[in-house]
Every structure is written in C-alpha cells, then in structure tokens.
C-alpha cells in the first residue's frame, strides 16, 4: 500500500502514481504539459449534454460508493492503471477524507461516476466510468458545480483526452501548473 502521507505529498508537488503493468508495478508521473478543466466560464457543457441535464436522468450522490466507483473505473478493455495496491491506497485516502467519488444512479443501479483526490482548493480527477450514456458526463458536470460553489481553483485531469476536450480541458506548461497548484493546495476549502 502507498502510505497516505506519501500520496498527499506527491500530489502537492504535481506527481501521481499509476500501475504500469499486470504485475502492478507502480510508477510516478508528472506530465508536461498538464491538463486542467477551467472552473470559470471556459468550462463547456456540450449542447447534447445540456438537453440530458434538463431531463435529470440520474440520481447523483457523493461518496456513497467510493470503492465500487474505483472498481468500475478499473474495468477497462485496454487494461488499467488501478492495481489492487492503488485501490487499497485510495480507499484509505477516502476514509481519511482526501479522496471522493461522484456517483450516477439509475433505478438504484450504479451506472457511472468518477473519483479523485482533494487537497486545499485542488481536486485531482483520477478516473471515470459509465455504464449508461452520459452518466460519467453528468457526474463531471455535478462535480464542477460543487467545486465552483465551494471556491476550488484547480481541477486537474492530468492528461488531455478526446473525452475531456469537449468540456474545455486545456493543457498548460508544467511551470504554470505548479504555480496554480502551489496556491490551490494552501487555500482551505471543504469538499
């Protein structure tokens, strides 16, 4: 298991772990450039998703099924970076109040969600999944709304992906990221 103090210190410096093979070997990453989702007006909700949000198709909860969300995120056809060691370590962070999940439910079934780590006014998005169309997207929009309401200044997505690009994700140089991060982790807000 990765100790909570080690994980939190790494995140405070813009570094995060991933399992890189089937044996669960852990490596540490600090991408340059770094991808973030702006929490200001540049956050973009695609038109089709706006229609979905008006229908309220899912019940959204926070921290109701953290271990399950992690397990679902780990079920990927192309392999996963979420090894048993990563799962155990982040569940421990969750119990300590430093990791959170957003869940999307339909008819009592968990159909989507995401999880990440929180320090100060920074949220580090780790992974998301969906079993129903738009479920993870609705969870992400709900997360952004909560982060804005609570005064967060950073939503780190680590890398740019086609899925996240539609929300206005942008890449910034590591030096700029570290400046934002330094301010964000010292600014006390509640998740």
* Residue 40 maps to a domain: yes
Q: Which 3-state string (H, E, C) describes 26-61?
A: EEEECCCCEEECCCCCCCCCCHHHHHHHHHCCCEEE
pLDDT band with cut points at 50, 70 and 90 for residue 49: low
Return the pLDDT at 145.
92
Q: Rounded to whole angstroms, how far apart are CA atoms 79 and 85?
A: 15
- State the CATH number of the domain containing residue 120: 3.40.630.70
Residue 66 has pLDDT above 80, yes or no: yes
**What's CA 118's distance to the chain center, in Å?**
9
Return the pLDDT at 52.
67
Strands (E), the chain: 16-19, 26-29, 34-36, 59-62, 99-106, 109-119, 122-130, 154-158, 170-172
Q: Name the domain count of the chain.
A: 1
* Residue 145 maps to a domain: yes
Q: Are 94 and 101 in contact (CB under 8 A)?
A: yes
Range of the domain at 62: 4-186
pTM for this model (two decimals): 0.93
- Copy the structure tokens of residue 15: 């570094």
* Residue 191 maps to a domain: no
């Amino acid at each position: 298991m990765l100790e909570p103090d080690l994980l939190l210190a790494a995140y405070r410096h813009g570094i995060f772990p991933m399992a890189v093979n089937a044996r669960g070997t852990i490596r540490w990453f600090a991408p340059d450039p770094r991808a973030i989702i702006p929490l200001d007006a540049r956050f973009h909700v695609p038109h089709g998703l706006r229609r979905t949000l008006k229908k309220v198709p899912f019940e959204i909860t926070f921290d109701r099924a953290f271990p399950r969300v992690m397990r679902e995120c780990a079920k990927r056809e192309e392999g996963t970076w979420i090894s048993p060691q990563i799962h155990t370590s982040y569940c421990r962070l969750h119990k300590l109040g430093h990791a959170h999940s957003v869940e999307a439910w339909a008819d009592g079934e968990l159909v989507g969600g995401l999880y990440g780590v929180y320090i100060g006014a920074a949220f580090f998005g780790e992974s998301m999944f969906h079993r129903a169309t738009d479920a993870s997207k609705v969870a992400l929009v709900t997360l952004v709304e909560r982060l804005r309401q609570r005064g967060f200044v950073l939503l780190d997505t680590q890398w740019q992906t086609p899925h996240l690009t539609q929300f206005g994700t942008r890449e910034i140089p590591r030096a700029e990221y570290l400046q934002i991060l330094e301010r964000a982790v010292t600014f006390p807000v509640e998740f």
